Amino acid sequence: MEQTTISYKSMAPQNIAVIGCSGAIGSALMHQLAAIHPDATIYTFSRSDPKEYSENIIHTKIKYESEISIESAAMKASEYLPLDMVIVATGILHDEVLMPEKSLKDLSAEKFIHLFSVNSVLPAIIAKHFVPRMNKKKRSVFAALSARVGSISDNEMGGWYSYRASKSALNMIIKNVAIETARKNKQAIFVGLHPGTVTSYLSEPFQSNVPKEKLFTPEFSAKKLIEVLEKLTSRDSGKFFAWDGEEIEP
Ligand SMILES: NC(=O)c1ccc[n+]([C@@H]2O[C@H](COP(=O)([O-])OP(=O)(O)OC[C@H]3O[C@@H](n4cnc5c(N)ncnc54)[C@H](OP(=O)(O)O)[C@@H]3O)[C@@H](O)[C@H]2O)c1
């Protein structure tokens, strides 16, 4: 029994980073990881301060548009220990001026570039600085929140050009990072995650068409995503999984 406890503790993540911890899902992930792993340090980053902290959370503000700020975040999170888990919970679908496109006539280069810069480029630059700081001596996981609508094979409805394309690009970036890193860090796992349809600012304008039982709380989604992360093996690296563990074809 003692042996089991020791080996579980040595497997459990000790050093975790959550980027985008002010979002609905990022915040729920931050709190649940802090509770599940009380002996771990949870380094959290967002543009604003979270409303609540646990003792094992160390929060720092980040400027996503500054690569220096992202590099500093990675250095801070790995100052004492390499990273066992990195979660990128950032992403946008709409904002005050931008709504997802229903048809080609709604496309705007400026809005397209903005969505790509948040949903695809930002996670890639985060990977650039956080991945070299991941643990090489034991299993580590890097997960970015993607979206099922980023699956090309699953696209039956069309629309949402820039969001869909930016998440498809994110899935490709994850796959690339997995291939490249497998050569240097065999125990690192890289995945995209679909959290389900979750109550948040991001989903708010689109919730009315979602059946009640399919609209998750951020807490439920975070719990399911953490269960998925715990079960991943190196064979899963580069793939894309839904909240219930189902693999989604790219
Ligand atoms: N909610 C859903 O139904 C749903 C479904 C599929 C996929 N997802 C994905 O899940 C992720 C989190 O979504 P959520 O529902 O938690 O949304 P949310 O509550 O609106 O949170 C948005 C997150 O994105 C960051 N963000 C917002 N605007 C940004 C900008 N202009 N530049 C950079 N970062 C920005 C925020 O960062 P700060 O923490 O710094 O504020 C926050 O972490 C997204 O990638 C989304 O695509 C969500």
- Ligand 1 centre and the CA of 235: distance in Å? 28
| Closest C-alpha residue for ligand 1 atom 46 | 91
The pLDDT tens digits for 191-220 are 999 999 999 999 999 999 899 999 999 999
Sign of CA dihedral 169, 172, 178, 181: negative
**How would DSSP label each residue in 165-221?**
HHHHHHHHHHHHHHHHHHTT-TTEEEEEEE--EE-STTTGGGGGGS-GGGEE-HHHH
Does the domain spanning 2-242 belong to CATH 3.40.50.720? Answer: yes
| Token pair belonging to 122 | 């930002």
Query: What's the pLDDT at 10?
Result: 62
pLDDT at 85: 98
CA of 82 to the centre of ligand 1 (A): 26
Write the CB contacts of 231 (distance below 8 Å, at least 6 apart in sequence): 245
Note the pLDDT tens digit of each residue in 138-148. Answer: 999 999 999 99
Ligand 1 mutation target, pool 88, 145, 221, most atoms within 8 A of CB = 145
The yes-or-no verdict on residue 36 having pLDDT over 80 is yes
Ligand 1 atom having least distance to the Cα of 196: 5
**What is the mean predicted confidence (pLDDT) over 27-35?**
98
- The CB of 83 under 6 Å from ligand 1? The reply is no
Instruction: Please name the residue whose Cα sits nearest to atom 33 of ligand 1.
Output: 118
Confidence class of residue 4 from pLDDT cuts 50, 70 and 90? very low
Q: Ligand 1: which residue has its CA nearest to atom 43?
A: 20
Query: Whose structure tokens read 């690192």?
Result: 188
For 40, 86, 114, 145, 249, the CA distances from 200, given in Å and listed in that order, are 27, 22, 20, 14, 25
Q: Which of 18, 25, 170 to mutate to test the pocket of ligand 1 (most atoms within 8 A of CB)?
A: 25
pLDDT of 9 above 60: no
Give the model's pLDDT for residue 211: 95
Q: Which residues contact 108 (CB under 8 A, 6 or more apart)?
A: none
pLDDT of 3 higher than 70: no
Q: How far apart are CA 142 and CA 144, in angstroms?
A: 7
Q: How many A from CA of 9 to the centre of ligand 1?
A: 31
φ, ψ of residue 210 in degrees (nearest 5) = -95, 125
- C-beta separation of 161 from 211 below 8 A: no
Whole-structure pTM value: 0.96
pLDDT above 90 (res 67):
yes
The amino acid sitting at 22 is S
Q: Does residue 1 carry a pLDDT above 50?
A: no
- Of ligand 1's listed atoms, the one at least distance from the Cα of 47 is 40
Q: How far apart are CA 88 and CA 215, in angstroms?
A: 22
3-state secondary structure of 28: helix
- Output DSSP code: residue 249: P
Q: List, for residues 214-250, the tens digit of each pLDDT value.
A: 999 999 999 999 999 999 999 999 999 999 999 999 9
